[in-house]
Amino acid sequence: MAINITGGSRVIAFESIHPDYRAVVETYLKAVGAELVVLPAGRGTADPAVLTPYLGKDTAAVLIQQPNFFGLLEPVNEIGALLEQAPTLFVACVNPISLGILQAPAAYGADIAVGDGQPLGNPPAFGGPSFGFMAAREKYIRRMPGRIVGETRDENGSRGFVLTLQTREQHIRRQRATSNICTNAAHSSLIGAIYLALLGKEGLKEVAVQCAQKAHYTAEQIAALPGWELLFEGPYYHEFAVKAPVPWSKVNEALLNEGIIGGLPLGRMYPHRPEWQDAILFCVTEARTVGEIQHLVQVLKGVE
């Protein structure tokens, strides 16, 4: 979409964006002959200063995740100010629950906002189904994709295509269609709509506050254990990375024995970062109780 609007042939992303998201973006860009440039985030967040050499007509968009993959808050206001006078679009990938207490993407200058709707009342369900959302400034609404066609292979190895995103209404109304709804996504998005309607504005804020408070409480308790420490400094939302004094496999095995799903090993996602090999990414939501958090900490304390 950004390439279509600007005519640029390059997209900038930071390594603090979810590695899987970056892989998908790279796949799409290859299909249109565009380049993905991934900039380092050694301290866990983007450095706006390194963007300057890339801002120009060749760069279609800068991608930022807020909060990012490590749960940290990116300097989105600085990035937005930097892009304000550039012919480059600002694309923000956001957690919808966090918007109960964090700035709306438009407030820091984002032109396009995308995200996963799974946190809105949809269970993890082993990875799916879920739904995504996309929003844009009013002047770009008509440039949003009506259809996205994906390529695959069937069991015989034959090439095939599938409508990853389609406007179901468009099959009948064609150019007069106005909605973007696919059958599989409709159920999940309906759950999200009901969830938001039941919560309301204050309810969404309360869920966001509880996520942040319980995550910070958990992180403080873990960081107080001998040999454990937070991997990054700076503000975070409801995810945080910690360095363990033992291999992550032992940590997650001990947790699983207690019926607790362990953290995500960063070494698996960032094999080129030796300093992150024993780090684990934890997430805490409003659904967790203080008792459950204390149980987690006690299990970690006993891992050897």
Q: Which of 269, 264, 260, 268 is nearest to 300 (CA)?
A: 260
H or E element in which residue 203 lies: helix 183-223
Please, what are the domains in the chain? Answer: 2-146 (3.40.640.10), 198-299 (3.90.1150.10)
Instruction: Say if CB 255 and CB 226 are below 8 A apart.
Output: no
**pLDDT at site 31:** 87
**pLDDT at site 209:** 98
Q: Tokens 């019926």 correspond to what residue?
A: 259
End-to-end CA distance of the chain: 50
Dist CA 91 CA 79 (whole Å): 11
The DSSP bridge pattern shows strands 35-39 and 10-14 to be: parallel
Task: Going residue by residue through the chain, which has 304 residues, state the pLDDT in tens, using 9 for 90 and above.
Answer: 999 999 999 999 999 999 999 999 999 999 899 999 999 998 999 999 999 999 989 999 999 999 999 999 999 999 999 999 899 999 999 999 999 999 999 999 999 999 999 999 998 888 878 888 999 999 998 888 777 788 888 899 999 988 777 655 555 666 666 655 555 677 888 899 999 999 999 999 999 999 999 999 999 999 999 999 999 999 999 999 999 999 999 999 999 999 999 999 999 999 999 989 889 999 999 999 999 999 999 999 999 8
Q: Which of 158, 122, 157, 119 is nearest to 239 (CA)?
A: 119
**pLDDT at site 173:** 63
**pLDDT at site 216:** 98
Q: What is the pTM of this model?
A: 0.87
Dist CA 112 CA 256 (whole Å): 39
